[in-house]
Protein backbone atom coordinates (compact mmCIF):
# COMPACT_ATOMS: atom_id res chain seq x y z
CA UNK A 1 0.00 0.00 0.00
CA UNK A 2 1.03 3.55 -0.63
CA UNK A 3 1.00 6.34 1.92
CA UNK A 4 -2.14 8.50 1.54
CA UNK A 5 -0.19 11.47 0.15
CA UNK A 6 1.34 9.22 -2.54
CA UNK A 7 -2.06 7.67 -3.29
CA UNK A 8 -3.37 11.17 -4.04
CA UNK A 9 -0.48 11.77 -6.42
CA UNK A 10 -0.91 8.52 -8.36
CA UNK A 11 -4.65 9.21 -8.63
CA UNK A 12 -3.83 12.66 -10.01
CA UNK A 13 -1.52 11.06 -12.57
CA UNK A 14 -4.25 8.63 -13.60
CA UNK A 15 -6.67 11.48 -14.29
CA UNK A 16 -4.06 13.29 -16.38
CA UNK A 17 -3.46 16.22 -14.05
CA UNK A 18 -0.22 18.13 -14.36
CA UNK A 19 1.94 18.72 -11.28
CA UNK A 20 0.66 22.29 -11.16
CA UNK A 21 -2.99 21.18 -11.36
CA UNK A 22 -2.49 18.54 -8.67
CA UNK A 23 -0.79 21.12 -6.45
CA UNK A 24 -3.70 23.53 -6.83
CA UNK A 25 -6.28 20.82 -6.09
CA UNK A 26 -4.37 19.50 -3.06
CA UNK A 27 -3.41 22.97 -1.77
CA UNK A 28 0.31 22.19 -1.82
CA UNK A 29 3.21 23.64 -3.78
CA UNK A 30 4.20 22.26 -7.20
CA UNK A 31 7.62 21.47 -5.71
CA UNK A 32 5.95 19.28 -3.08
CA UNK A 33 4.12 17.43 -5.86
CA UNK A 34 7.41 16.93 -7.72
CA UNK A 35 9.03 15.62 -4.55
CA UNK A 36 6.15 13.21 -4.02
CA UNK A 37 6.39 12.11 -7.65
CA UNK A 38 10.05 11.27 -7.14
CA UNK A 39 9.19 9.24 -4.03
CA UNK A 40 6.32 7.52 -5.87
CA UNK A 41 8.58 6.57 -8.80
CA UNK A 42 11.15 5.14 -6.40
CA UNK A 43 8.58 3.10 -4.46
CA UNK A 44 6.93 1.72 -7.60
CA UNK A 45 10.12 1.38 -9.63
CA UNK A 46 8.58 3.59 -12.32
CA UNK A 47 10.38 5.54 -15.03
CA UNK A 48 7.69 8.14 -15.69
CA UNK A 49 4.06 9.07 -15.05
CA UNK A 50 2.50 6.59 -17.47
CA UNK A 51 4.69 3.80 -16.10
CA UNK A 52 3.66 4.69 -12.52
CA UNK A 53 -0.04 4.55 -13.48
CA UNK A 54 0.40 1.21 -15.24
CA UNK A 55 2.17 -0.25 -12.20
CA UNK A 56 -0.49 1.17 -9.86
CA UNK A 57 -3.23 -0.55 -11.92
CA UNK A 58 -1.19 -3.75 -11.95
CA UNK A 59 -0.82 -3.71 -8.15
CA UNK A 60 -4.48 -2.87 -7.55
CA UNK A 61 -3.62 0.56 -6.12
CA UNK A 62 -5.75 2.13 -8.86
CA UNK A 63 -9.04 0.70 -10.06
CA UNK A 64 -11.59 1.76 -12.61
CA UNK A 65 -14.52 3.43 -10.87
CA UNK A 66 -17.14 1.10 -12.30
CA UNK A 67 -15.22 -2.11 -11.53
CA UNK A 68 -14.64 -2.15 -7.76
CA UNK A 69 -14.25 -5.94 -7.59
CA UNK A 70 -10.95 -6.26 -9.46
CA UNK A 71 -8.42 -8.36 -7.59
CA UNK A 72 -4.90 -6.98 -7.28
CA UNK A 73 -2.22 -8.98 -9.02
CA UNK A 74 0.43 -10.57 -6.82
CA UNK A 75 3.70 -9.67 -8.49
CA UNK A 76 5.61 -12.58 -6.92
CA UNK A 77 3.62 -15.08 -8.96
CA UNK A 78 4.36 -13.50 -12.33
CA UNK A 79 7.19 -14.29 -14.70
CA UNK A 80 9.40 -11.14 -14.47
CA UNK A 81 10.02 -11.11 -18.23
CA UNK A 82 6.28 -11.17 -18.98
CA UNK A 83 5.64 -8.51 -16.33
CA UNK A 84 8.21 -6.22 -17.93
CA UNK A 85 6.59 -6.72 -21.35
CA UNK A 86 3.11 -6.09 -19.95
CA UNK A 87 4.23 -2.90 -18.20
CA UNK A 88 5.90 -1.68 -21.40
CA UNK A 89 2.72 -2.41 -23.38
CA UNK A 90 0.58 -0.58 -20.82
CA UNK A 91 2.95 2.39 -20.73
CA UNK A 92 2.70 2.73 -24.50
CA UNK A 93 -1.09 2.42 -24.36
CA UNK A 94 -1.40 5.06 -21.67
CA UNK A 95 0.88 7.51 -23.48
CA UNK A 96 -1.31 7.33 -26.55
CA UNK A 97 -4.52 7.43 -24.52
CA UNK A 98 -3.34 10.61 -22.76
CA UNK A 99 -3.32 12.40 -26.13
CA UNK A 100 -7.03 11.82 -26.77
CA UNK A 101 -8.83 12.53 -23.46
CA UNK A 102 -11.88 14.13 -25.10
CA UNK A 103 -12.61 11.25 -27.46
CA UNK A 104 -15.98 9.56 -26.79
CA UNK A 105 -14.32 6.14 -26.41
CA UNK A 106 -11.62 7.36 -24.00
CA UNK A 107 -13.22 5.96 -20.81
CA UNK A 108 -13.79 2.59 -22.47
CA UNK A 109 -10.15 2.58 -23.55
CA UNK A 110 -8.99 3.27 -19.98
CA UNK A 111 -11.14 0.37 -18.77
CA UNK A 112 -9.50 -1.90 -21.34
CA UNK A 113 -6.05 -0.74 -20.22
CA UNK A 114 -7.04 -1.47 -16.61
CA UNK A 115 -8.22 -4.94 -17.64
CA UNK A 116 -4.86 -5.55 -19.29
CA UNK A 117 -3.12 -4.38 -16.13
CA UNK A 118 -4.91 -6.98 -14.02
CA UNK A 119 -4.38 -9.92 -16.38
CA UNK A 120 -0.72 -10.80 -16.95
CA UNK A 121 -1.65 -13.25 -19.72
CA UNK A 122 -3.85 -10.79 -21.63
CA UNK A 123 -3.05 -9.95 -25.22
CA UNK A 124 -3.11 -6.18 -25.84
CA UNK A 125 -3.67 -6.59 -29.62
CA UNK A 126 -7.36 -5.57 -29.62
CA UNK A 127 -6.72 -2.59 -27.37
CA UNK A 128 -3.74 -1.54 -29.51
CA UNK A 129 -5.99 -1.66 -32.59
CA UNK A 130 -8.60 0.48 -30.84
CA UNK A 131 -5.93 2.99 -29.81
CA UNK A 132 -4.68 3.14 -33.39
CA UNK A 133 -8.21 3.89 -34.61
CA UNK A 134 -8.71 6.56 -31.92
CA UNK A 135 -5.32 8.10 -32.65
CA UNK A 136 -6.12 8.24 -36.37
CA UNK A 137 -9.46 9.91 -35.68
CA UNK A 138 -7.74 12.35 -33.28
CA UNK A 139 -5.14 13.16 -35.96
CA UNK A 140 -7.82 13.72 -38.58
CA UNK A 141 -9.73 16.13 -36.31
CA UNK A 142 -6.50 17.90 -35.29
CA UNK A 143 -5.91 18.83 -38.92
CA UNK A 144 -9.40 20.25 -39.47
CA UNK A 145 -9.83 24.04 -39.83
CA UNK A 146 -12.20 24.24 -36.83
CA UNK A 147 -9.65 22.53 -34.62
CA UNK A 148 -6.82 24.76 -35.86
CA UNK A 149 -8.86 27.90 -35.12
CA UNK A 150 -9.59 26.81 -31.54
Residue 43 CA to residue 63 CA, distance in Å, equals 19
pLDDT in tens, 70-103: 444 444 445 555 666 666 666 666 666 666 667 6
Query: In a 10 Å sphere around its CB, with 0-12 CB exposed, 13-18 middle and 19+ buried, how is residue 55 labelled?
Result: buried
Residue 26 CA to residue 131 CA, distance in Å, equals 31
CB 52 within 8 A of CB 17: no
Residue 97 CA to residue 91 CA, distance in Å, equals 10
The pTM is what? 0.45
pLDDT in tens, 99-133: 666 767 767 776 776 676 666 666 666 666 666 66
Residue 128 CA to residue 118 CA, distance in Å, equals 16
For residue 30, the Cα-to-chain-centroid distance in whole angstroms is 20
Predicted confidence (pLDDT) at residue 2 exceeds the cutoff of 80: yes
CB 58 within 8 A of CB 73: yes
pLDDT in tens, 50-77: 888 888 888 888 876 655 444 444 444 4
Residue 146 CA to residue 150 CA, distance in Å, equals 6
Residue 122 CA to residue 99 CA, distance in Å, equals 24
Report the candidate in 40, 29, 50 with the shortest Cα–Cα distance to residue 7: 40
Amino acid sequence: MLAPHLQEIVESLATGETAREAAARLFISPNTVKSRLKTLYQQLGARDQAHAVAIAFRLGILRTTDEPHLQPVVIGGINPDRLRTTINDLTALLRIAEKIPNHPDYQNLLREVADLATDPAADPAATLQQIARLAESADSTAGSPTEAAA
